[in-house]
Structure 1
């Protein structure tokens, strides 16, 4: 009888073993080896997933039995990516949120992975596409629980060549490029913008969770690198040269931003854009102009800012720059931060010389091409009569001059055009008082009596009227 019972137990165990073999999961993780690719069937591409699951609202649950694959292009080793990896196939990239630390030990950059998407969620963080877990009460997508990871994310072979999208400059990336979101990009001839070259990659996390560093190419196209305050390289100084940049292309709402994996992504070992440009005088640049528009070659100029942006009697994008007895209006692409008395060296390579309402200006100059040498530098104005100024106007244009014994019959305030006179002649005193630009002293009562005026000669209006502009009320002496 005992023998029969033993036989029955063995038969029952065999049956159970057989049943358990038939119930084997479709997505068991393969052995943790870098040489095996299980070649699981893939029925969804990353770009198609984004199209099918696109939503402007809360994250959407994936109920279809879809499988994607990708090569890991970013992990959490440096801390600049937190509890997430980024993967990329031949069609696109996607961020994968995982509630675990040290993901790089399982999913290092270069590992191929398969992901069974059924039951996960697709959504956005500030328009950045992501795969994650069940949304929380606020609708924000949570991370995939660590307990579910091995059942749905299958490791394959490692390493693999990284998919890299290469660009000659930033022109195709500086506005949102949807095809590149969450993809690894590479751009040559990139440098940190001059204003940020004295910074570290990020402020400490006690001050900010992340920091933007401005970068540019040699054509003046600009973007930002975003770095976490928790990155292991947060306190490192940014490189000051020029070279190859690799990064993950991301967005924050409508702003594209680049996120590097570590400092090796910035190979900035070459000289900066235009650093070999010869230094010439402002007068030499002025002499290049003939008519129309003239593109300047490879040059840099030194001088001192003689305009005063703080008192607004100049367009916020303009700056008057003087070297010796010559000056010129520099026209930047955006409002600049250079103050009266700043001594600068400026790379003006590729700038455009033209006349605006009669005044020669040099446009298409990047503020990042200006390097501050000193501050508080005084330029001595040249004393000139109004008769001599009018007769030799271009010799004095955009330089600091002093006119003695000046009177005016005008009344009211400084704003607009007022005629001033000295014993030899007269000229228009122009003070901005427009809808877009208003001098801080435009509403101040105009001077009375006889004064000495310091100002900057220029021309303006459709009639190209010769005029003198004060920088501030200290110019009335």
Structure 2
């Protein structure tokens, strides 16, 4: 979503606040800028907003619910602002959660107004009058599939009804719906693991205690690359679990051209979903929220073999051209398995006369999805200087989902084998449509011996990372 930079508004306020009135005795009077506590007693909650829409969906199938005017008994909710547009990373919206600490619900409030951080700073308690507003829900599915009661994580947005959609609250109406409290609290981010995220955490402030940028993103800026349009997406890597989430940064953010931090540390951000609500994203208020100050990164160990590679003896060469079904894949010695017991697998596919295997979490109904494709046994005893290569392609890329491993003790169960990651170049982008196949580069496996297996592991989730990954031309050669 496009945003605008903030130019000098804080300075303007400071100047405005220091304007004084001259009196005969030479003294000056400073205007009273104290926020007066409004005479409002909340009679609903942010969680109740979500429940109202769910009930509307259960009754009528609608994913928009409107709060009608009730002058005698208006409906108010209270919450705490956890976002700021001061760096340009949020635009015409404020994110509000229901509690200072351990929130149970959050909501995105869209307003036709900018420079919101000057009035609704992080920690500011506000009251929202719901009368005349509407709330919508989106989980990234097509219109007929959106469902606020299923297991796919979605996002609630509060605003003004425009036709059958929720749009920005008009600038002239903001004062009628949003009221500032005198309270400014210190928000305590919810410490969480990525695997434990639920819909209740959306539109709240979260913190990962140990995280870093994914190694392949270390040479990039936050959102200043030629391929970044509207938003830049980089990958946050969680040290303990090796799970990832997309860091979304506006191409209008003041820090878009900053190089991403190189170390590891705590990561604090607003948890949300992308513009189309298709996958989870984390949005930082400022680059300092990525406190990656520890130079000792937590990159997973990778296979490190040395020496010359690349002989003419072919040990494995699979282009998948003759493997047109899952049964044929299995008969050829490949193992395609869903580690969580689901039904989504790497499966044969084709396009433009080329065959390959592919997998995606999109509309799989599985969250998380962990799928493995393991090669037949590859014996390295009769060769030296072995090299592994393969090709990958991505479609509708919304995050890193593929990793590649080797094992010397795989016997059929991916959970009991010992896997060592290989450092391979994997396809990236685009967010819409498909890329073209690209090479992994030369991967030295010459220090291995005996029977080994190569595995392609897909970690995704319906409603999370759903990137389609295709694998082709897996080859091992030696001397």
TM-score relative to the length of structure 1: 0.56
Which residue of structure 1 lines up, in the alignment, with residue 204 of structure 2?
183
Which residue of structure 2 lines up, in the alignment, with residue 202 of structure 1?
223
Q: Does 1:120 align with 2:120?
A: no
Which residue of structure 2 lines up, in the alignment, with residue 95 of structure 1?
108
Tell me the alpha carbon deviations over residues 336-369 of structure 1, each in whole angstroms, 9 at most, x when there is no partner.
99xxxxxxxx999xx976233799x9755556x7
Max radius of gyration: which structure?
1
Q: Is the 8 A contact 1:326 1:396 kept in 2?
A: no
Tell me the alpha carbon deviations over residues 237-286 of structure 1, each in whole angstroms, 9 at most, x when there is no partner.
111211111111112445221111120110011134446x9xxxxxxxxx
Q: Does 1:147 align with 2:172?
A: yes
Supply the RMSD in Å over aligned alpha carbons. 4.8
Deviation at 1:60, TM superposition (A): 2.3
- Aligned CA distance change for structure 1 residues 189 and 370 (closer, same or farther; 3 Å): farther
Which residue of structure 2 lines up, in the alignment, with residue 242 of structure 1?
264
| Equivalent-residue separation in structure 2 for 1:87 and 1:35 (angstroms) | 19
Which residue of structure 2 lines up, in the alignment, with residue 256 of structure 1?
280
Correspondence 1:10-89 to 2 at 5 A: 33=33, 36-38=36-38, 40-54=40-54, 55=57, 57=62, 59-63=64-68, 65-89=74-98
3-state SS in 2 of match to 1:74: coil
Which residue of structure 2 lines up, in the alignment, with residue 354 of structure 1?
409
Deviation at 1:302, TM superposition (A): 4.1
- Aligned CA distance change for structure 1 residues 370 and 84 (closer, same or farther; 3 Å): same
| Structure 2: runs of 5+ lacking an equivalent | 1-30, 141-153, 322-332, 335-356, 358-372, 395-402, 427-439, 454-469
Where is the helix percentage greater, Structure 1 or Structure 2?
1
1:107 to 120, 132, 141: 120
Which residue of structure 2 lines up, in the alignment, with residue 268 of structure 1?
292
3-state SS in 2 of match to 1:108: coil
Q: Is the 8 A contact 1:205 1:230 kept in 2?
A: no
Deviation at 1:99, TM superposition (A): 0.4
1:221 to 243, 250, 264: 243
Deviation at 1:190, TM superposition (A): 0.6
- Aligned CA distance change for structure 1 residues 135 and 303 (closer, same or farther; 3 Å): farther
Q: Is the 8 A contact 1:191 1:272 kept in 2?
A: no
- Aligned CA distance change for structure 1 residues 74 and 354 (closer, same or farther; 3 Å): same
| Equivalent-residue separation in structure 1 for 2:191 and 2:257 (angstroms) | 29
Deviation at 1:36, TM superposition (A): 4.1
Correspondence 1:324-403 to 2 at 5 A: 354-356=409-411, 363-365=418-420, 395=449, 397=451
| Equivalent-residue separation in structure 1 for 2:404 and 2:472 (angstroms) | 29
Q: Is the 8 A contact 2:245 2:281 kept in 1?
A: yes
Which residue of structure 2 lines up, in the alignment, with residue 161 of structure 1?
186
Q: Is the 8 A contact 1:47 1:92 kept in 2?
A: yes
| Equivalent-residue separation in structure 1 for 2:449 and 2:66 (angstroms) | 72
Tell me the alpha carbon deviations over residues 140-195 of structure 1, each in whole angstroms, 9 at most, x when there is no partner.
3211111111122111125311142112x32213xxx1110101001111111111
3-state SS in 2 of match to 1:48: helix
Tell me the alpha carbon deviations over residues 369-425 of structure 1, each in whole angstroms, 9 at most, x when there is no partner.
7799xx97698999xxxxxxxxxxx956569xxxxxxxxxxxxxxxxxxxxxxxxxx
Which residue of structure 2 lines up, in the alignment, with residue 301 of structure 1?
304
Deviation at 1:81, TM superposition (A): 1.0
More RCO (CA 8 Å, sep 6+):
2
| Equivalent-residue separation in structure 1 for 2:379 and 2:238 (angstroms) | 25
- Aligned CA distance change for structure 1 residues 354 and 205 (closer, same or farther; 3 Å): closer
2:162 to 111, 130, 135: 135
Which residue of structure 1 lines up, in the alignment, with residue 14 of structure 2?
none
- Aligned CA distance change for structure 1 residues 378 and 354 (closer, same or farther; 3 Å): closer
Deviation at 1:117, TM superposition (A): 0.8
3-state SS in 2 of match to 1:156: strand
| Equivalent-residue separation in structure 2 for 1:206 and 1:193 (angstroms) | 18
Q: Is the 8 A contact 1:59 1:123 kept in 2?
A: yes
| Structure 1: runs of 5+ lacking an equivalent | 1-30, 278-297, 338-345, 383-393, 400-436, 441-468
Aligned length: 326
3-state SS in 2 of match to 1:86: strand
Correspondence 1:2-13 to 2 at 5 A: none
| Equivalent-residue separation in structure 1 for 2:302 and 2:444 (angstroms) | 23
Q: Is the 8 A contact 1:328 1:362 kept in 2?
A: no
Tell me the alpha carbon deviations over residues 85-136 of structure 1, each in whole angstroms, 9 at most, x when there is no partner.
0111123111111101111111111211111110111113544211101224
Q: Is the 8 A contact 2:424 2:441 kept in 1?
A: no
Correspondence 1:424-435 to 2 at 5 A: none
